[in-house]
Amino acid sequence: MNTEVLIYSPESIQKAAEILKAGGIVGMPTETVYGLAANALDENAVRDIFVAKGRPQDNPLIVHISSIDMLPKLVREIPDVALRLAQRFWGGPLTMIFPKADIIPAVTSGGLDTVAVRMPASEAARDIINACGFPIAAPSANLSGSPSPTTAQHVFRDMDGRIPLIIDDGACSCGVESTVICFRDGRIHILRPGGVTAEMLSEFAEVEIDKAVSAKPAENEKVLSPGMKYKHYSPKADVFIVDEHGDAFLRYCNANINGNTVAMGIGVTEQDIFIDYGATPELQAQRLFALLRKADDDGADTVYVEMPSREGVGLAVYNRLLRAAGFRVVKNDKAE
């Protein structure tokens, strides 16, 4: 199959909608990361997403809508707080889990009785959904396990020959996947941190953060969000989080060069092995996946990343990095 990359325009959106209406899959821009889109209500189309990505069958997909009016048909119940959150944060990087209506096929929800729904801010994504008239299931458009794509070129790298079309709307403004929440006893429970932060959500209800966000789930432990148990977001290089800052970070990296080494620091001067991954959590979120992919392109063996702040969007950066690093956090030798 030939994979076409077309710039976002009324004509390319029309072409994407035709493919999707015929049961096909398309690479779709969103403000979080690029998605692999298919009709969320078409079992066969959704099954093809799992095949194209090599994604485990029990990892459910997020269903994308273009207006709040599309929600009631997809779910059995909408808590009041969810409606208030939708009014405040949709379109935007917030995914909410609801009891699913029968119209959602089991393959879309990974066999669960619940469904994850989000309305993106991206105009291109909403245009595609509007042109189709049905909700779109779209996981990140990378091969399962590799860093998520934040440009159309990243999608092309992973999906060339597997899908007919990618819509190119430039680099994603958020850069990490959406915040995923469910509701438990009146509280907002964060399953995956993202662009809508715990601080922002806490204005609406008490917020709790799932322990799988910052810790490695034990073997066979039941996790609320199936995606949290897989190795994720990883380049081929060995990634380590370095829990040091400033000179101590530079010292760790220089003392532990191992093969072709890249060191991603926070606001560092770019020289030798060092590259800057952004002075703020927002910039780090935007650049993280692109830099991990670049490390692979440059043939890196080892990638050191300075420990991010866990405030605001920083928690999402930390969560993705922990998984890219396989939970390996290192420090300078105390004896030094």
Residue 225, binding choice from Mg ion, ligand AMP, none, Cβ under 5 to 8 Å by partner class: ligand AMP
- Give the residue at shortest CB distance from ligand AMP: 227
Q: What is the DSSP string of 55-103?
A: --TTSPPEEE-SSGGGSTTTBS---HHHHHHHHHH-SSSEEEEEEBPTT
Which of 66, 122, 151, 225: binder of ligand AMP (CB under 6 A)? 225
Cα-based torsion angle of the residue sequence 44, 49, 54, 57 in order, rounded to the nearest 10 degrees: -60
Does residue 59 belong to the site contacting ligand AMP (CB under 6 A)? yes
Does residue 114 belong to the site contacting ligand AMP (CB under 6 A)? yes
Residue that has been written with the tokens 């060191």 in this structure = 263
CA 336 to CA 326: how far, in whole Å? 26
Which of 61, 65, 268, 291: binder of ligand AMP (CB under 6 A)? 61
Which of 48, 177, 244, 306: binder of ligand AMP (CB under 6 A)? 177
Does residue 322 belong to the site contacting ligand AMP (CB under 6 A)? no
The contacts of residue 295 (CB under 8 Å, 6+ apart) are 235, 237, 262, 303
Residue that has been written with the tokens 């806490």 in this structure = 202
Beta bridge partners of 75: 100
Between 120 and 265, name the residue whose CB sits nearer to ligand AMP: 120
- Cβ(41)–Cβ(105) under 8 Å? yes
Does residue 196 belong to the site contacting ligand AMP (CB under 6 A)? no
Between 112 and 283, name the residue whose CB sits nearer to ligand AMP: 112
Between 55 and 126, name the residue whose CB sits nearer to Mg ion: 55
Residues that bind ligand AMP (CB under 6 A): 59-62, 97, 109, 112, 114-116, 139-140, 177, 180, 191-192, 224-227
Residues that bind Mg ion (CB under 5 A): 140
